[in-house]
Structure 1
Amino acid sequence: MDSKNKKNKIENGHGKRINPDFEILPAVDMKNGKCVQLVQGIPGSEMVSLDNPAEVALSWVARGAKTLHLVDLDGAFEGKRKNASIIEEIISRAKPLDIQIQIGGGIRSFEDAAKLLNWGADRVILSTIALKNPKIVRDVSESFGKKSVVVGLDSKNGYVAVEGWTEISTKKAVDVGKSFEELGAGYILFTNIDTEGLLKGVDVRPTQELTESVQIPVIASGGVTTIDDLFELKKIGAWGAVVGSALYTHKFTLEDAIAALKSNV
């Protein structure tokens, strides 16, 4: 068996294939034209606020990022895409470098999703709209391909949170994840609200439950504070992890994390 096939056969002990090319997706969250990091997603809780999000995004590319995770917070909070010109600039500058772009925040219709994909985004993150109108997942998947659809599931104590995390539904994240896989989602972005933005480390159990229940890639989000957290997420079968506050507050560097993960295949 050659080394490539051997790597592809690695499993985590629960039958879930481990992604040897586990990705770190730097978060570029945009609000009022700035790159910000919020605590627990609460408006006004900015722990980081940087000018020129496009330059911030391209700096992550220069440091080794292969995929950028863009979030239009104004779109999410107000339904207005105030950061459209910034998003277009990031896409136009990153795509020639063969960088993948996934974007969420304020996608409220098929037309919104289609516009972002037609701008050149590789994947759109469907969160609230997917829960309210699951058919949109199938519509986007059939029109743009399965890999264009990321369903965003935000979870607290294993249950899906809605309405900007203000309400906890009676639906288990695992069950919802399975249903969206059947509808044609290509990825699930799983955010553990219990740890999001707190810089206190990850709790891998909810993510592991999901990775063991679906076949599509699961991108983890929430709580990554150390490179060891990334190792733990990789070990339980996550495809990659969105990292925001830990990078912006210099808990570790992107270069060091990429190098450590490569040496830990």
Structure 2
Amino acid sequence: MSFQIIPAVDMKGGKCVQLVQGIPGSEMVSLDDPAATALNWVARGAKTLHLIDLDGAFEGKRKNGAIIENIIERAKPLGIEIQIGGGIRSYEDAETLLSAGADRVILTTAAMKNPQIVKDLSESFGKQAVIVGLDAKNGKIALEGWTKLSDKGPTDVAKQFEDLGAGYILFTNIDTEGLLKGVDIKPTKDLIDSVNIPVIASGGVTATDDLLKLRDAGAYGAVVGSALYTDKFTLEEAIAVLKK
């Protein structure tokens, strides 16, 4: 499959927002209708949507479930793939979302605290349904909505989750996320080279050149948020550049 540009639809308090480095209260974008926003990306060429319940990520309890279900109901008949994260803390949480029509669930804090959940979900739903999200700050894995740092680095952790059955790694470089200053390709490239499963990159994409760098580094795709929402480039422009 060709390199995927995956628009982010991050939800907080029922709105679609973009935070600076995941910090609550730093909203640079706040839109009232996340479902309409998601469907707009689909209309403009997105093949995959990245839906994040930020309330769930910060508080451990998903609060935007009805909006997410609405997006699934409207996007799935159009052939759109949907990956969901934020507040998925248990097997049952993930099962609920996958049974509702999500193609993939993103496990971050839950995977780090209970790695067995990755194996269990992979065995039940197939490895392609399981994304392990590794968010790194200063070279260390961040947890619980990026509010805590572990003592582990992303490459070793990624290998462990690959062995447990993860189908994808979602790697977010918090050091560049939301700053609109471009990607730092090295940590992403190091992670891509350390595993044999697809790596989706996130954090720092500011120009279409960043997408080309990630593609050429071997990434499966890139989650793009702030750059699209602040018109650094359009989704149509990005799709066109990657076809050349």
TM-score normalised to structure 1 length: 0.90
Q: Contact between 2:57 and 2:144, CA under 8 Å: does it hold in 1? A: no
Matches within 5 A, 1:119-138: 119-138=100-119
- How many percent of aligned residue pairs carry the same amino acid? 75
Matches within 5 A, 1:43-122: 43-122=24-103
Report the counterpart of residue 170 of structure 1 in structure 2. Answer: 151
- Per the alignment, in what secondary structure is the counterpart of residue 151 of structure 2? strand
CA RMSD of aligned residues (A): 0.9
Report the counterpart of residue 15 of structure 1 in structure 2. Answer: none
In 1, distance between residues paired with 2:11 and 2:213?
Answer: 28
Deviations 1:189-243 (A, max 9, x none): 0000110000000001000001001010000000000000000000111100000
Report the counterpart of residue 253 of structure 1 in structure 2. Answer: 234
- Deviation, structure 1 residue 45: 0.7
Which 10-residue stretch deviates more, 164-173 or 124-133?
164-173
- Deviation, structure 1 residue 59: 0.2
Report the counterpart of residue 208 of structure 2 in structure 1. Answer: 227
In 1, distance between residues paired with 2:191 and 2:218?
Answer: 9
1:32 matched to 2:27: no
Mark the runs of 5 or more structure 2 residues left unpaired by the alignment.
Answer: none
In 1, distance between residues paired with 2:53 and 2:148?
Answer: 21
In 1, distance between residues paired with 2:144 and 2:92?
Answer: 21
Matches within 5 A, 1:151-166: 151-166=132-147
What amino acid does structure 1 have at the position aligned with 2:23?
I
Report the counterpart of residue 175 of structure 2 in structure 1. Answer: 194
In 2, distance between residues paired with 1:140 and 1:151?
Answer: 11
1:146 matched to 2:138: no
Report the counterpart of residue 9 of structure 1 in structure 2. Answer: none
In 1, distance between residues paired with 2:16 and 2:205?
Answer: 19
In 2, distance between residues paired with 1:165 and 1:35?
Answer: 19
What amino acid does structure 2 have at the position aligned with 1:96?
P
Mark the runs of 5 or more structure 1 residues left unpaired by the alignment.
Answer: 1-18
Which 10-residue stretch deviates more, 210-219 or 76-85?
76-85
Report the counterpart of residue 203 of structure 1 in structure 2. Answer: 184
- Per the alignment, in what secondary structure is the counterpart of residue 155 of structure 1? strand
Question: When the two structures are aligned, how many residues end up with a matched partner?
Answer: 244
Structure 1: 4+ residue segments shifted above 6 A: none
- Per the alignment, in what secondary structure is the counterpart of residue 21 of structure 2? coil
What amino acid does structure 2 have at the position aligned with 1:207?
T
Which 10-residue stretch deviates more, 166-175 or 191-200?
166-175
Q: Which has the larger radius of gyration?
A: 1
In 2, distance between residues paired with 1:165 and 1:83?
Answer: 19
- Deviation, structure 1 residue 80: 2.8
- Per the alignment, in what secondary structure is the counterpart of residue 190 of structure 1? strand
Deviations 1:106-127 (A, max 9, x none): 0010000000000000000000
Report the counterpart of residue 215 of structure 1 in structure 2. Answer: 196
Report the counterpart of residue 160 of structure 2 in structure 1. Answer: 179
What amino acid does structure 1 have at the position aligned with 2:206?
T
